[in-house]
Every structure is written in C-alpha cells, then in structure tokens.
C-alpha cells in the first residue's frame, strides 16, 4: 500500500484541480434549466472513469438524467464491488447567502477544517465523495493493485428521488451483480472520530394544498367572516405534533422498531457535544421528541417537518389580502419498519380528516424511500472498520444516520447486495445549504482509506 500513499501524495494537487473542475459544472437535477449541464457532468464523469482505467464506460440515458456506468472486471474468482454515487446536486439558492459563488470553487480554512475545505455546491454531497472513489480506483489500477472487480454506477437524479434508477437496476440485474455495494454519501462524526454509517432513514414526502374562498379577497371587507387558508393550514400543521413533539397521526408509530435499551445505551456512547451543536446552529436550546436524546431523535425516531410553506402576499411591503390558497411541503423521515406508502396514506387520511369544513384540502405524494439498517458483524462492515483503523489509527464507531438514500433499500431487494456506507463528510459541511464545503483532509483521507477496504474485503472473502 506504500506506493498508493506515495501516489496520493504526489497527485494531491491534480486530484483537487479535477474536483474543482467537476463542481464547476452546475448539475442541478431538480431544475430543467440545467439539463445540458447535468448531461455535461455525466460526460465528465464518464471521461474520468475511462482515464482511470474503467472499461465499458457508458452514459445510459433514462427518462430523466443519465446514469454513468463503467467497470473493470479482472477475475471472476474475485469479489465484485459496486460503487454507487451521484453527480447531481441540490439547487444553490438562496444565492445571496453564499460567501462565494456556488459553482466557483474556492479553498478556505475553517475551524473544523484547518487544512482547508473546498467550498462549492456538491463539494461534499456528493461530487467530492463520489470522486474519491474514482481517484482511489485510478491509484489501484496504476499500481496493478486492484484486489476486486469493480463496477461504477453514478447517477444524476439522487437529489430528486432516484426514480429512474429503480427501473435501471431492475432492467440490469445481471450487469450490476456484485458482492457488495460501496457508497460514500454520508457523514462521519468528526475528523478525529471516524464512524461508519449503519443506517439511513426512509422518507415520505407530500405536498398539501388548502383552498378557502374561490379567489383572493380584501382582508378588511371579508376578514373575520371567511376562513383564511394560511391560518387554517398553520393550525393543521401545528396539530400534527403534540406538546411532547410526538406525531399525532393515528397509526404513525405502529410499525416503528423498538430499539433495545442496550442498543440505545450503546449508541449514546458516541461523542455528541450538545454545547457545540447549539453554538454551531446559534439556537438557544435544542428541541425534539420527549424521552429521546438528540442522537436518537436523528437516527432511530421518525420525524415530520415542514420543508416549505407559502401562500398569500410575500412581495415587498404590505398588501392586504385574504388568500384563496395555502401550500406546504412536508417530509416524514421513517425508521424500520415503517413504509413510505403506508405512512403517506395515513398522513393523507388524517390531514383530510382534521381539515375544517371551511376549506378543501389536497394531498399530493412525492417520492419516497425505505429505511435501511446494516449489520456490524458482516464481512463488509468488518472490512470497512479495518480500513479506517489502517488510515485513522482508530476503530470507527457505528452510527445510524438521519438522512436518506432511497435507492439503498432497492440494492438489497432487487440486486440482493448489502451496502456499506463509508461517508467522509461532516454534518457541519452544510450540504444542501449555502456555503457547502468538503474538507481537504476528508477528501484525501477518503482516497487513502478506500483501497484498504478493497484489500481487506478481498482478503476476508477469500478466507471465508
Ligand atoms: N447524501 C444525502 C443523504 C445523507 C446525507 C445521508 C448525510 C446521511 C448523511 C443525499 O444526497 C440526500 O440528500 N438525500 C435526500 C433524499 C432524496 C430523496 C432527496 C435527503 O436525505 O433529504
Ligand atoms: Mn448525497
Ligand atoms: Mn443530498
């Protein structure tokens, strides 16, 4: 592995320059205005895979944005690693809150990243983390040091729900067959506290529309006598949680896995600095479901959050109006064994039921995804743990994450492969937010650690 370290050391500058080039392309999957840019990003990724030594590189069209596929199959007797990542990014807005252009990458030092961090949309989620795999692979190929077969599947629609990827994997089960799926698209606890993600929450996402009068009204002439849909929607949303921040939808918790006291004690041993957490977010006090710690609230417990709410007049100054309609986008994070279809249906029924007769409501489901939990006694987890030990000098802590990667549940269901989540970002890296960044330490550490995973995984598979 020495030659790989030397290779990384000698190529750090280039690896960073290439990542900068990648994040300069605004591959915003949600906005049709960026379709060309998304396509260009797919081409960039495809080219880099070829340059790194991939064969059969293909840009696979879908009904939406393309999927980039490439492979290097060296020996049928060796295990096969399927690397998944995404090259699409979240929209950059609100633009005015960025200290530098979201697509003008710049390296700056921060408190948590004294070696510097690359600021740009997608630097961490997931271009930076995905690209670590391309560079780690390049190193292994260059040095004839690839211990596994590798398949890359890099998609362009993760941030919009991966709807077409489901079809792609169903239609390509043969081509995608693998022993394990390897993903870097999550976070670790801290740069000196490595961790491996052992769970992701599921997701149910709905949009609601509340209609009052058939047109906007003068809020003086009509106000007081006609239901205001914004007022009504606010009350309905407020009623979705009780004073203990428990969700009030009947049946919502029915399938929630009860985590044992022992496991809860274990998970709360993970370092969590409440002071620092509050200070970082500039919040007076944390809040959440009674009876659970912050770590539990963001991992083993389901949630309900309004992601956006609008209606009425939101322009400059004051306009007196009693709006006809109000809207909200609501996400529910799910845990085992909740399912998005059932939760969406329960939400819909309840929301329609609590609506007063003065308004009409419409509930429209968006994408969803199943939760996942991965075992720690598996070969893939153990190989990953050894890899972190080799490069961080510390045993990583298993930690369930609050985020979602909806396709992971399908990897297991459709392809029958287990996933290992080797995330190298930090929660404070501002993914989806202004000033997203990725530590250079994290980027290089990822490139250094990944080949160890391949090595240990191959060894452990071989020795049964
Ligand atoms: N990479 C994130 C998920 C993530 C981030 C998991 C940090 C764990 C820690 C992914 O790109 C993402 O943002 N997923 C979305 C869901 C998707 C359907 C839009 C999410 O979690 O909101
Ligand atoms: Mn991601
Ligand atoms: Mn994301």
Q: Is residue 277 part of a domain?
A: no
102 within ligand 1 shell (Cβ under 6 A)? no
187 within ligand 1 shell (Cβ under 6 A)? yes
122 within ligand 1 shell (Cβ under 6 A)? no
Q: How far apart are CA 108 and CA 429, in angstroms?
A: 13
Q: Is residue 51 part of a domain?
A: yes
CA 88 to centroid of ligand 3, rounded, Å: 9
Which residue among 351, 369, 387 closes a domain? 369
- Say what the pLDDT of residue 246 is: 98
- The per-residue pLDDT for range 345-402, each reduced to its tens digit, is 999 999 999 999 999 999 999 989 999 999 999 999 999 999 999 999 999 999 999 9
CA 133 to centroid of ligand 2, rounded, Å: 14
Same domain, yes or no: 186 and 237: no
Q: Is residue 291 part of a domain?
A: no
Closest residue by CA, ligand 1 atom 9: 186
- State CA 27 to chain mean position distance: 16
**What pTM, to 2 d.p., does this model score?**
0.95
Tell which atom from ligand 1 comes closest to the C-alpha of 197: 8
Same domain, yes or no: 112 and 207: no
161 within ligand 1 shell (Cβ under 6 A)? yes
Helices (H), 284-372: 294-297, 340-354
Ligand nearest to the CA of 404: 1
Which residue among 323, 339, 369 closes a domain? 369
Active site residue 158: yes
R_g of the chain, CA atoms, integer Å:
23
- Say what the pLDDT of residue 128 is: 98
Same domain, yes or no: 365 and 234: yes
Domain holding 382: CATH number? 3.40.630.10
- Say what the pLDDT of residue 386 is: 98
Same domain, yes or no: 343 and 381: no
Q: CB burial class (10 A; 0-12, 13-18, 19+) of residue 373? A: middle
- State CA 325 to chain mean position distance: 32
Same domain, yes or no: 123 and 178: yes
- Say what the pLDDT of residue 367 is: 86
405 within ligand 1 shell (Cβ under 6 A)? yes
Confidence at 262, pLDDT banded by 50, 70, 90: very high
Using most ligand atoms within 8 A of CB, pick from 158, 161, 410 the residue to mutate for ligand 1: 158
Active site residue 111: no
Tell which atom from ligand 1 comes closest to the C-alpha of 205: 18
Tell which atom from ligand 1 comes closest to the C-alpha of 331: 22
CA 160 to centroid of ligand 3, rounded, Å: 9
Q: Is residue 285 part of a domain?
A: no
Same domain, yes or no: 331 and 451: no
Same domain, yes or no: 234 and 248: yes
CA 294 to centroid of ligand 1, rounded, Å: 19
Same domain, yes or no: 195 and 231: no
Same domain, yes or no: 341 and 236: yes
Please provide the average confidence, as pLDDT, over all residues in the chain. Answer: 97
Of the candidates 438, 446, 439, the one whose C-alpha atom is nearest the C-alpha of residue 391 is: 446
406 within ligand 1 shell (Cβ under 6 A)? yes
Task: Give the count of domains, the chain.
Answer: 2
Using most ligand atoms within 8 A of CB, pick from 28, 184, 185, 407 the residue to mutate for ligand 1: 185
Is residue 166 predicted with pLDDT exceeding 90?
yes
Mean pLDDT value of segment 109-125: 97
Which residue among 353, 369, 385 closes a domain? 369
Same domain, yes or no: 20 and 79: yes
126 within ligand 1 shell (Cβ under 6 A)? yes
Same domain, yes or no: 114 and 245: no
Q: Is residue 132 part of a domain?
A: yes
- State CA 308 to chain mean position distance: 19
Confidence at 38, pLDDT banded by 50, 70, 90: very high
- Give me the catalytic one of 18, 88, 370, 380: 88
Q: Which residues of 123-158 are buried (b: 16+ CB within 10 A; e: fewer)?
A: bbbbbbbbbbbbbbbbbbbeeeebbbbbbbbbbbbb
Report residue 193 as tokens. 């506290």
Q: How far apart are CA 328 and CA 48, in angstroms?
A: 41
186 within ligand 1 shell (Cβ under 6 A)? yes
88 within ligand 1 shell (Cβ under 6 A)? no
Sequence-distant (6+) residues with CB within 8 A of 242 are 248
Q: How far apart are CA 462 and CA 464, in angstroms?
A: 5
Contact 68, 57 (CB under 8 A): yes
Confidence at 243, pLDDT banded by 50, 70, 90: very high
CA 185 to centroid of ligand 3, rounded, Å: 8
Phi, psi of 104 (to 5 degrees): -115, 85
- The per-residue pLDDT for range 97-112, each reduced to its tens digit, is 999 999 999 999 999 9
Confidence at 464, pLDDT banded by 50, 70, 90: confident
CA 77 to centroid of ligand 2, rounded, Å: 32
Query: Residue 108 is part of which domain span?
Result: 2-200+371-462
Is residue 72 predicted with pLDDT exceeding 90?
yes
Using most ligand atoms within 8 A of CB, pick from 403, 422, 423, 438 the residue to mutate for ligand 1: 403
Residue 163 sits at the vertex; the CA angle it makes with 33 and 27, to the nearest 5 degrees, is 30
Q: What SS3 class is residue 17?
A: helix
Domain holding 321: CATH number? 3.30.70.360
- Say what the pLDDT of residue 150 is: 98
Q: Is residue 276 part of a domain?
A: no
CA distance to 204, 209, 210, 232, 326, per residue, from 236 (Å)? 18, 12, 10, 6, 12
Q: Is residue 353 part of a domain?
A: yes
Q: What SS3 class is residue 181?
A: strand
Tell which atom from ligand 1 comes closest to the C-alpha of 367: 18
Same domain, yes or no: 117 and 134: yes
What are the E-state strand segments in 236-355? 303-311, 325-334
Give residue for tokens 């340059």.
Answer: 51
Q: Is residue 279 part of a domain?
A: no
Which of 190-194, 199-203, 276-280 is predicted with the least confidence, judged by mean pLDDT?
Answer: 276-280
Q: How far apart are CA 39 and CA 435, in angstroms?
A: 24
403 within ligand 1 shell (Cβ under 6 A)? yes
- State CA 391 to chain mean position distance: 25
């Amino acid at each position: 592995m020495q030659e790989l370290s030397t290779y990384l050391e000698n190529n750090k500058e280039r690896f960073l320059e290439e990542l900068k080039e990648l994040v300069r392309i605004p591959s915003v999957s949600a906005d049709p205005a960026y379709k060309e840019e998304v396509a260009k990003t797919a081409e960039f990724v495809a080219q880099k895979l070829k340059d790194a030594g991939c064969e059969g590189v293909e840009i696979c069209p879908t009904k939406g944005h393309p999927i980039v596929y490439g492979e290097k199959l060296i020996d049928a007797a060796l295990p096969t690693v399927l690397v998944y990542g995404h090259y699409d990014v979240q929209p950059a807005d609100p633009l005015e809150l960025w200290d530098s252009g979201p697509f003008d990458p710049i390296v700056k030092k921060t408190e948590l990243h004294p070696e510097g961090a690359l600021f740009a949309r997608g630097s961490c989620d997931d271009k930076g983390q995905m690209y670590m795999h391309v560079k780690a692979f390049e190193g292994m190929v260059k040095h004839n040091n690839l211990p596994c077969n590798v398949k890359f599947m890099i998609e362009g629609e993760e941030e919009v729900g991966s709807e077409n990827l489901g079809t792609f994997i169903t239609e390509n089960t043969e081509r995608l067959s693998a022993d394990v799926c390897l993903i870097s698209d999550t976070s670790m606890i801290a740069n000196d506290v490595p961790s491996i993600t052992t769970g992701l929450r599921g997701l149910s996402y709905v949009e609601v529309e509340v209609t009052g009068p058939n047109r906007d009204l003068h809020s003086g002439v009509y106000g007081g006598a006609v239901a205001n849909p914004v007022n009504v929607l606010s009350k309905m949303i407020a009623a979705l949680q009780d004073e203990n921040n428990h969700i009030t939808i009947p049946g919502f918790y029915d399938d929630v896995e009860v985590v044992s006291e022992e496991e809860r004690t274990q998970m709360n041993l993970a370092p969590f600095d409440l002071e620092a957490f509050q200070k970082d977010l500039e919040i007076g006090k944390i809040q959440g479901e009674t009876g659970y710690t912050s770590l539990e609230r963001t991992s083993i417990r389901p949630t309900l959050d309004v992601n956006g709410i609008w209606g009425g007049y939101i322009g400059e100054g004051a306009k007196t109006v009693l709006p006809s309609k109000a809207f909200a986008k609501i996400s529910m994070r799910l845990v085992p064994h909740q399912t998005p279809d059932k939760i969406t249906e329960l939400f819909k029924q309840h929301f329609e039921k609590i609506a007063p007769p003065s308004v009409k409501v419409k509930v429209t489901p968006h994408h969803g995804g199943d939760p996942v939990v991965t075992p720690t006694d598996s070969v893939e987890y153990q190989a990953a743990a050894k890899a972190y030990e080799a490069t961080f000098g510390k045993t990583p802590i298993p930690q369930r994450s609050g985020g979602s990667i909806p396709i992971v549940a399908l990897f297991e269901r459709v392809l029958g492969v287990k996933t290992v989540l080797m995330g190298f970002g930090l929660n404070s890296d501002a993914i989806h937010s202004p000033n997203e960044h990725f530590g250079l330490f994290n980027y290089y550490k990822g490139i250094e650690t990944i080949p160890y995973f391949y090595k240990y995984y191959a060894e452990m598979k071989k020795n049964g």
